[in-house]
Amino acid sequence: MNNIVVQILLIALAPILGGLIYGLERKVKARMQRRIGPPLLQPFYDFLKFADKRKMIVHSTHAFLGLLHFVSLWFAVAVLIMGGDFILIIFLHLLSTAVIILAGFSTRSIFSHLGANRSAISVLAYEPVLIIIAISAYMLTGSFDVSALYASEIPVLFKMPLAFIALLLILPVKLKKSPFDVSEAHQEVVGGVELEYSGIFYEAVYTAKWLDYIFVYLLVFMFGGANIWLGLVLVALTFIYINALDNSTARVNYKQMLRFCLWVALPIAFVNLLLTMFGVL
């Protein structure tokens, strides 16, 4: 990822790529359920249709925070693509989530509030694991820059296999996929934070979800190191894993999710940190 042109193209196209991933995901999920599924470009058709709806908002602060969420997430993705400081990237990503949580709190909608609370709990669940992974990566490469990981000759996966497992465990939380989809659980909180958005203002929140795919799969790709093909294989496998998991599990409640992340995923990441620290692998 050293080529600056590729980087800028990737940043510019990130939402579109994310949309394609989302389209593919709907397709793959449908096939897993023996349905045909929507066309690959369905997310974009939806996107166009939303733009045509009547403009309605609860209040301006809420609507503006939705836009801000999209922009700040795009920014975090951009820093990740450019290979910036890992800790900073995690914080930026956390803060883009913070914006949407604030948006959830800013209305007087019960479902929105519940969704915001649950999103905040999700942050508590996955953020420590991500930071521990970042520190392990530092121990490995001697630099907090993600570009050092992209450039790593030996694939990062072989050096920190446990970190990869920990990442796989928290990805459903991050992507709001079953069994850890409490924060938007449609049957319970009707989509949570995104409930009060509609029409053109929903576009921002909707496309931000696509950006989240890019963010997450870039993290996975990173484990391939300088070997682009290994990275892509990892991304493909993770993609199938996430969707298979989403299709085959039922939702747990937020306490179980938190407990799982802090007592299973975090210790795994921690053991990985120790292994890297002591130079075992």
Give min distance, CB of 168 to another protein, in A: 19
Distance CA 230, CA 52 (A): 42
80 binds another protein (CB under 8 A): no
Distance CA 105, CA 79 (A): 28
Is 180 or 239 the residue whose CB approaches another protein more closely?
180
Residue selected from 12, 41, 51, 277 as contacting another protein according to rule CB under 8 A: 277
**Residue 113: exposure state from Cβ atoms within 10 A (0-12, 13-18, ≥19):** middle
Q: Hey, which residues between 198 and 217 contact another protein (CB under 8 A)?
A: 198
Residue selected from 88, 165, 226, 230 as contacting another protein according to rule CB under 8 A: 88
The Cα-based distances of 137 to 2, 113, 202 in angstroms read: 19, 36, 36
The Cα-based distances of 237 to 77, 168, 243, 268 in angstroms read: 21, 11, 10, 20
Give min distance, CB of 19 to another protein, in A: 22
Distance CA 122, CA 249 (A): 18
Q: What's 142's DSSP letter?
A: S
Q: Is 193 in contact with 104 (CB distance < 8 Å)?
A: yes
Q: How many residues bind another protein (CB under 8 A)?
A: 66
186 binds another protein (CB under 8 A): no
At 281, is the secondary structure helix, strand, or coil? Answer: coil
183 binds another protein (CB under 8 A): no
218 binds another protein (CB under 8 A): no
**Cis preceding linkage at 155, omega within 30:** no
Give min distance, CB of 243 to another protein, in A: 28
Residue selected from 6, 9, 61, 281 as contacting another protein according to rule CB under 8 A: 61
Residue selected from 5, 54, 187, 229 as contacting another protein according to rule CB under 8 A: 54
Q: Hey, which residues between 9 and 48 contact another protein (CB under 8 A)?
A: none
Q: Is 15 in contact with 211 (CB distance < 8 Å)?
A: yes
Distance CA 177, CA 182 (A): 9
133 binds another protein (CB under 8 A): no
Binding positions for another protein, rule: CB under 8 A? 54-61, 63-65, 68, 71-72, 75, 79, 84-85, 87-88, 91-92, 94-95, 98-99, 101-102, 104-114, 116-117, 120-121, 123-124, 127-128, 131-132, 135, 138-139, 142, 144-145, 190, 195-196, 198, 262, 266, 270, 273-274, 277-278
